[in-house]
Amino acid sequence: MKKIFITAGLLVSMLFRTTAQSNVEENTDYEKRKLKVDEINFVTSYYHQEGDRSAVTGGIGTEKLNDYANSFDLKMSKYDLKNRQHTFNLDLNIDYYTSASSDNIDPRTVSGASAADIHFYPSVSWSVKNPINRITQGLTYSFSKEFDYISQGFTLSWAKTSKDNNREFSIKASAFIDKATIILPIEFRTGTTASGRGGSQDTKPRNSYTAAFSLSQVVNERLQLMAIVEPSYQEGFLSTSFHRIYFDDNTEGIEKLPGKRLKLPIGLRANYFFGDNLILKAFYRYYMDDWGMKAHTVNLEGIYKITPFISISPYYRFNNQTAVDYFHAYKANSPTSDYYSSDYDISGMNTNFYGSGFRFAPVNGVLGMKHFSSVELRYGHYTRTTGMVANIVTLALKVK
């Protein structure tokens, strides 16, 4: 954590030097078209969970996990000769986590390769906004790597704003091309890997295609609404190869799920401004898929300004979901079924997530540093009716 703040401090100081230089030379039209830094965000968080419904051990056993996540987000922009605004975004994310349940893929080892891992997932995006036709177009590339998969993502976006800027319609289309490494529980391994441990190192494709349609409307000076529809389709290896199944006849197997999945979430978002000091944000989503799951999610967040530069933001999210058709608990699946899983992530349950944020954004900058615009600390507590409990603490710094 100390290294993170040292690095952040160095980057902030470099930004101040760059900004100071650009302020001296910003008088000509040519200089105004240079690429400039709009915003830098640093986010670091710690997440910890406990539970005893791990899919690695067939729906029983520890779910203990610790995750240290760090994010660096750089936003830049420039105007071209046609006065179109080009926005560039670089997002670097890296998580380090330890997972007791993943270590049980091979419980005979003191600490297996999957007991701790680094998840690296950067992305880069570009968009251009035309002030004449009010159309914004964009392109995003993302990459993700973890111990058992590699993913590449491509997103195209298009949005148009009304003449009065009170309405916007947007479309996004994404494709994620994944390769999942087949890692079997130790008792199912027949070959040997380069490290001498048993198991298959084959990879299988797992691809996802998503569309997102949204319509936002400013109803009046207090109320803003947005409707969202996000259909998606997955194909390929959708099971997790190291999830064990303990059948009702006391035999053992590994998770088997269909090779296709169609999802349809529909959401409605509303923001209401009660005045200068209070904003209420509400969100509802209905979800269904062709595996049999249906879900309802409600999210509420209030933002209250205690002073012009100090605010708190309590929030609460509730989710209710039914189990997919192929889920059964420990020793409840039948070996004669076509598909089976004991992963409680796709079981029927209720979840609650609540907490609050504290934001400090003084006019003259945090600690008197003009470009250090805000610091926010958030805490959240998460529970499932399956018995899992988690806590997360997040610190976010913004430089503008």
> Residue 150, class by beta-carbon neighbours within 10 Å (0-12 exposed, 13-18 middle, 19+ buried)?
middle
CB 341 within 8 Å of CB 324: yes
Residue with tokens 């529980």: 185
Return the pLDDT at 391. Answer: 98
Average pLDDT in the 367-394 region?
Answer: 95
Question: How far is 67 from 46, CA to CA, in rounded Å?
Answer: 6
Confidence band of 85 (pLDDT split at 50, 70, 90): very high
On whether residue 17 sits in a domain, the answer given is no
Return the pLDDT at 5. Answer: 39
Q: Which of 112, 114, 109, 121 is nearest to 97 (CA)?
A: 114
Return the pLDDT at 204. Answer: 94
Average pLDDT in the 53-64 region?
Answer: 94
On whether residue 18 sits in a domain, the answer given is no
Average pLDDT in the 268-288 region?
Answer: 96
Return the pLDDT at 267. Answer: 98
Rounded to 5 degrees, what are φ and ψ at 221?
Answer: -65, -15
Average pLDDT in the 302-318 region?
Answer: 96
Average pLDDT in the 310-327 region?
Answer: 98
Question: How far is 374 from 370, CA to CA, in rounded Å?
Answer: 10
Strand pairing class (349-360; 372-384):
antiparallel
On whether residue 377 sits in a domain, the answer given is yes
State the total domains in the chain. 1
Return the pLDDT at 191. Answer: 61
Return the pLDDT at 201. Answer: 58
* Helices and strands in the chain, H and E counts: 3, 21
Confidence band of 282 (pLDDT split at 50, 70, 90): very high
Q: What is the pLDDT of residues 111-130, one digit of tens each?
A: 444 578 899 999 999 999 99
- Does the pLDDT of residue 385 top 90, yes or no? yes
Confidence band of 261 (pLDDT split at 50, 70, 90): very high
Task: Say what the pTM is.
Answer: 0.86
Return the pLDDT at 108. Answer: 61
Question: How far is 152 from 255, CA to CA, in rounded Å?
Answer: 25
Q: What is the pLDDT of residues 340-378, one digit of tens each?
A: 999 999 999 999 999 999 999 998 888 888 889 999 999
On whether residue 256 sits in a domain, the answer given is yes
Q: What is the pLDDT of residues 155-207, one digit of tens each?
A: 999 999 999 999 999 999 999 999 999 989 988 887 654 333 444 458 899 99
Q: What is the pLDDT of residues 195-204, one digit of tens each?
A: 334 444 588 9
> 56 is in which domain, residue-wise?
37-399
On whether residue 59 sits in a domain, the answer given is yes
Q: What is the pLDDT of residues 201-253, one digit of tens each?
A: 588 999 999 999 999 999 999 999 999 999 999 999 999 999 999 999 999 99
- Does the pLDDT of residue 318 top 90, yes or no? yes
CB 288 within 8 Å of CB 294: yes
Tokens (6 digits) for 242: 């190291």
Q: What is the pLDDT of residues 9-40, one digit of tens each?
A: 444 444 444 444 444 344 444 445 788 999 99
Amino acid identity, position 13: S
On whether residue 22 sits in a domain, the answer given is no
Q: What is the CATH number of the domain that holds 353?
A: 2.40.160.40
Return the pLDDT at 223. Answer: 97
Return the pLDDT at 227. Answer: 98
Percent of the chain with pLDDT over 70: 87
Residue with tokens 């600490």: 111
In a 3-state reduction of DSSP, which class is residue 147?
coil
Question: How far is 184 from 182, CA to CA, in rounded Å?
Answer: 6
Return the pLDDT at 116. Answer: 84
On whether residue 6 sits in a domain, the answer given is no
Question: How far is 164 from 191, CA to CA, in rounded Å?
Answer: 65
Return the pLDDT at 365. Answer: 85
Question: How far is 28 from 25, CA to CA, in rounded Å?
Answer: 7
On whether residue 72 sits in a domain, the answer given is yes
- Does the pLDDT of residue 102 top 80, yes or no? no
